[in-house]
Amino acid sequence: MSSATSQLRYQVLPGPEGLLPPSASAMGVVLPQDGEGLVEGVLTAEDLALKAAARAMLTRRNPTLFPGPLVVWGWNKHTQEKASVVLEIAAEIPGVKIIPMPDYRPIYPKIDPEAVINPCHPNLTIWHNKIEACIFVGVHCHFANVTLKMVRAGTNCYTIALCAEAGHEDAMVSLPKCGTEKLQKMVKALRQVKKEGITPWALTPNGKRELEAERDQRRKQREAIASAAPDFAHELVAGLDENEE
């Protein structure tokens, strides 16, 4: 490819890109075939895409897994097996969060961004938790497509889509046909990148400081909630006398 053509290539990069970013497919980004991956809009070998995903999840701030209904609810033996491998991926990423996307329906009056992510406003969860790298896995493709565009529009999060179908152009890294075997390759890629000497974000001074402050904040919140709860005072507080007539 000539340098002039290379300069014109549309790159799928962390945003915020603006209110209405163009669809990556409309900008010429094509989906990978099985055995390939997509990194920032460029087709590449599968192993290189896995390493790019692993590097982002290990080095960027507050890495997070967003498992969707296809792995959260254990519909059958296959999805249960996939969910087990997703937990293996999580175990290889120090400081990782797991925030599920349990449902696609809009949540009103507001979502709890520490508990869930919703495809109607995924940016709220990413902003609240200061997430700069994430993996979507087990999310139905039509909802993943919408969610990934919204994340690219409004956040600086590096998105990775481990898709069971054809993949997603609007993710920074995407791999298609992700069954348990390919998810296991993601586990191996994380281990390989760590062996190469990379320091995970959670083990850096900044990462340790931020995670420790977060733990303190959540402890204070729990204590405040517990102290604000009203005392239970009712005639049944002492229990019922079964012999009383």
pLDDT tens, residue by residue, 10-45: 999 999 999 889 999 999 999 999 999 999 999 999
Interval 175-202 mean pLDDT:
97
Q: Which two tokens stand for residue 200?
A: 């995970």
Query: Of the candidates 8, 13, 50, 57, which has an alpha carbon nearest to the alpha carbon of residue 181?
Result: 50
Residue 137 and residue 65 in contact, taking contact as beta carbons nearer than 8 Å: yes
Q: Which two tokens stand for residue 46?
A: 């599968």
pLDDT of residue 11: 94
Cis peptide before 109 (omega within 30 of 0): yes
pLDDT, tens only, 192-222: 999 999 999 999 999 999 999 999 988 888 8
pLDDT of residue 226: 82
The CA–CA distances, whole Å, from 64 to 1, 36, 116 equal: 35, 24, 12
pLDDT of residue 241: 60
| SS3 per-residue string spanning 48-77 | HHHHHHHHHHHHCCCEEEEECHHHHCCCCH
Q: Which two tokens stand for residue 86?
A: 């997703």
The whole-angstrom separation of Cα 182 and Cα 92 is: 16
Instruction: Fill in the DSSP letter of residue 25.
Output: G
pLDDT of residue 180: 96
Contacts of 235 (CB under 8 A, 6+ apart): none
Average pLDDT, the chain: 91
pLDDT of residue 4: 46
The whole-angstrom separation of Cα 38 and Cα 176 is: 9
Residue 115, pLDDT > 70, answer yes
Residue 5, pLDDT > 50, answer no
pLDDT of residue 228: 79
* 103: region left, alpha or beta (phi > 0 left; psi from -120 to 50 alpha): beta
pLDDT of residue 218: 85
The whole-angstrom separation of Cα 46 and Cα 181 is: 13
Strands of the 63-67 sheet, one edge to the other: 42-45, 36-39, 173-175, 158-162, 133-137, 63-67, 97-98
Residue 81, pLDDT > 50, answer yes
pLDDT of residue 107: 86
Amino acid at 93: I
Query: How much of the chain, in percent, has pLDDT values that exceed 90?
Result: 78
More confident: 222 or 168: 168
Longest CA–CA separation in the chain, Å: 94
pLDDT of residue 237: 54
Query: How much of the chain, in percent, has pLDDT values that exceed 70?
Result: 90
User: Hunting for tokens 């565009």 — which residue is that?
Assistant: 149
